[in-house]
Chains A and B, each alone.
Chain A
Amino acid sequence: MTGSDGGADADDAAATDDTAAVRVDGVSKRYEGRQTTQPLRDVSLAVERGEFVCLVGPSGCGKTTLLRLLAGLESPTDGTISVGGSRVTGPGVDRGMVFQEYNLFPWKTVEENVRFGLDRPVCDCADCAARVADLVELVGLGGFEDAYPKELSGGMKQRVAVARALAVDPEVLLMDEPFGSIDAQTRDRLQAELLDIWRETGKTVVFVTHEIEEAVTLADRVVVLGAGSDGVVGDFDVDISRPRERTDPEFAAAVEGVRARIE
């Protein structure tokens, strides 16, 4: 476990610009209204290609806002975001999003949900049916192709959502507290599966969570956003071999390091 401050990392990333899958430059987000709020103030961050980064922080630190800006679902008030070298101006298939509340289309079966992105505007893959079947298999839902979301448990729904996001072969997988409403045992299994999928596909993953243990279990790098829009207050490389055990002293030390920075 090595802790480094945000500034050094940013310099490092600037030198090797081409390898950055995600680059956030001086991004602020303000919501004007009767009460103006500013969840993000001057945040800069770079994520390497193939890296698994967890964003953690207390409620209201703007981690979900940052992820939504990366997805292009909202636009920054100031600053720029680029993914794969091109500027983000709106949602796109180069960024797959997985939501805490799954957001599966209830009128579509598992197979149809996974296929959705392939048909917009039109498939360009050689064999979409096979691709869908592979993805359903990858997330361990073989046999449930024709089930409707209402017939699935929370964990199964989130597996479908991951497969659906992966179907369009995005550059980056954005995950917004995806296991936040899933029971503890299922969550452990999903985390292990996600790491398998990550290894298998080599995707860049940006994963938002408020659970430090989850972040340390999953990430190559844990980025801490401060409360009160302080921006990046901590940036930790997690140098523990996977699979990581919570009982491992190294793991506990890493968790403590992150926790100290949050509080």
Chain B
Amino acid sequence: MSFGTRLSFDFEPDVGRDESVNRVACAIAGVVGFLAVWTAAASVVHPDYLLPGPLTVLGALATEFTTDAPLAVPGIGGAVDLPRALTRLAQTLFHLVPGLLAGAFVGVATGLLVGYSPRVDATVTPVIRVLRPIPELAWIAFAIVWLGIGHAGAAFIVGVGALWINYYAAYSGVDGVHEGYKEVGATLGVRTHAGMLRHVVLPAALPSVVNGFRTSIGRCLMIVVGAELFGAPGVGYEIINASNNLDMARSMAYMLVISAVYICVDSTYAAAERRWLAWRP
């Protein structure tokens, strides 16, 4: 800025992203800072086991990867021995993935329909207003009674969590579809509501749906602890169980497992999203 009289380090409102930020350096600084605060806090807290430091947690994590535990494979039967962390992770995925997919499918389908049809909207929305605020975990007792302790019950809880995020994502996606697209569709020969949904509304709402599903993956990982509270095996159960036994290091090791899964899945998904939705402005 040739006419600038201020020095460059003066604070100015940041309009747009400053491209010159070195994101990698900042990220490293952030993580190192966090570890330093964690280590300092751990050294202050007594007794030691209440807040284990990063190295202790890393040690616990290593133990979980070097100790084997049997993984019962549902459906096929039999068991395979895997490092315990992987066994717990696989157990979590056995209910996380079906719950997530089922909840997302029901949520997206309902959201598309309710968002598209004013009549269905008027009919269903009062009921949804009643059901929506109920926390997923409130269904735990029902899940046990209806589905028993195990993967099915936990999948149900996860599914309820995925349902609403996907429902609202699809609903608002459809709601936001530009009226002009539907008009073009109609003048070009789309005759039925099914055709309009399939060829115009769904593709137009897809970015919102895809993004909602991504959010719901994170949400479902967060409810896994609750879903496994009542004894369904998995990472969440291990977090609760270990901390109940005051084995905080192990509990935190499993928290890191959840974080690692989330980071891997989310960044893969983000990359895939960019490719699928390359048409987005």
A-side interface residues toward B, CB under 8 Å? 71-73, 90-93, 95-97, 99, 101, 103, 105-109, 116-117, 120-121, 148-150, 164-165, 167-168
Main secondary structure of the interface of B (DSSP, over half): helix
Q: Is the CB of A121 within 8 A of B191?
A: yes
Assembled-state Cα–Cα distance A116/B189 (Å): 9
Judge whether B77 is part of the interface by a CB distance below 8 angstroms.
Answer: no
Judge whether B57 is part of the interface by a CB distance below 8 angstroms.
Answer: no
Interface residues on B, range: 20 to 34
Interface stretch of the complex, out of B28-36, B44-52, B180-188, B232-240: B180-188
The answer to whether A97 and B189 touch (CB under 8 A), given A103-B178, A107-B206, A150-B280, is no
Measured CB to CB, the nearest residue on chain B to A117 is B188
Assembled-state Cα–Cα distance A121/B199 (Å): 11
Contact of A103 among B184, B280, B281 (CB under 8 A): B184
The answer to whether A120 and B189 touch (CB under 8 A), given A91-B183, A150-B281, is yes
Assembled-state Cα–Cα distance A205/B180 (Å): 20
- Which residues of B (155-207) have their CB < 8 Å from a CB of A? 178, 180-181, 183-191, 195, 199-200, 203-204, 206
Assembled-state Cα–Cα distance A92/B279 (Å): 28
CB distance from A147 to the nearest CB of B (A): 10
Instruction: List, sorted by A's number, 23 A–B pairs whose CB atoms are closer than 8 Å.
Output: A90-B186, A93-B187, A93-B188, A103-B184, A105-B184, A105-B200, A105-B204, A106-B279, A107-B203, A107-B206, A108-B279, A109-B279, A116-B184, A116-B185, A117-B188, A120-B189, A120-B190, A121-B195, A148-B278, A148-B279, A150-B279, A164-B184, A165-B187
CB distance from A83 to the nearest CB of B (A): 12
Q: Is the CB of A103 within 8 A of B189?
A: no
Q: Is the CB of B186 within 8 A of A91?
A: yes
CB distance from B48 to the nearest CB of A (A): 57
CB distance from A114 to the nearest CB of B (A): 10
CB distance from B274 to the nearest CB of A (A): 14
> 9 closest A-B pairs (Cβ-Cβ)?
A117-B188, A120-B189, A103-B180, A91-B186, A150-B281, A148-B279, A97-B187, A91-B187, A93-B189
The answer to whether A73 and B183 touch (CB under 8 A), given A106-B280, A120-B195, is yes
Measured CB to CB, the nearest residue on chain B to A95 is B187
CB distance from B272 to the nearest CB of A (A): 16
CB distance from B189 to the nearest CB of A (A): 4
With a cutoff of 8 Å between Cβ atoms, the chain A residues found around residue B195 in the complex are 120-121
With a cutoff of 8 Å between Cβ atoms, the chain B residues found around residue A116 in the complex are 184-185, 188, 199
Measured CB to CB, the nearest residue on chain B to A93 is B189
Contact of B199 among A109, A120, A168 (CB under 8 A): A120
The answer to whether A97 and B183 touch (CB under 8 A), given A121-B191, A164-B188, is yes
With a cutoff of 8 Å between Cβ atoms, the chain A residues found around residue B279 in the complex are 106-109, 148-150
With a cutoff of 8 Å between Cβ atoms, the chain A residues found around residue B181 in the complex are 103, 105
With a cutoff of 8 Å between Cβ atoms, the chain A residues found around residue B278 in the complex are 148
CB distance from A70 to the nearest CB of B (A): 11
- Which residues of B (21-71) have their CB < 8 Å from a CB of A? none
With a cutoff of 8 Å between Cβ atoms, the chain B residues found around residue A109 in the complex are 279
CB distance from A115 to the nearest CB of B (A): 10
Contact of A99 among B184, B190, B191 (CB under 8 A): B184
Assembled-state Cα–Cα distance A116/B195 (Å): 12
Measured CB to CB, the nearest residue on chain A to B180 is A103
With a cutoff of 8 Å between Cβ atoms, the chain A residues found around residue B277 in the complex are 107
CB distance from B63 to the nearest CB of A (A): 49
With a cutoff of 8 Å between Cβ atoms, the chain B residues found around residue A95 in the complex are 187
Of A92, A105, A121, most buried by chain B (CB within 10 Å of CB) is A105
Q: Is the CB of B190 within 8 A of A107?
A: no
Assembled-state Cα–Cα distance A201/B178 (Å): 31
With a cutoff of 8 Å between Cβ atoms, the chain A residues found around residue B187 in the complex are 71-73, 91-93, 95-97, 165
Assembled-state Cα–Cα distance A197/B128 (Å): 52
Q: With A96-B187, A165-B187 given, can you name 12 additional A-B contacts, CB distance below 8 Å?
A: A73-B187, A93-B189, A97-B187, A106-B204, A107-B204, A108-B203, A116-B199, A120-B189, A120-B190, A148-B278, A150-B280, A164-B188
CB distance from B204 to the nearest CB of A (A): 7
Q: Is the CB of A168 within 8 A of B189?
A: yes
Measured CB to CB, the nearest residue on chain B to A91 is B186
Q: Is the CB of A121 within 8 A of B186?
A: no
CB distance from A152 to the nearest CB of B (A): 11
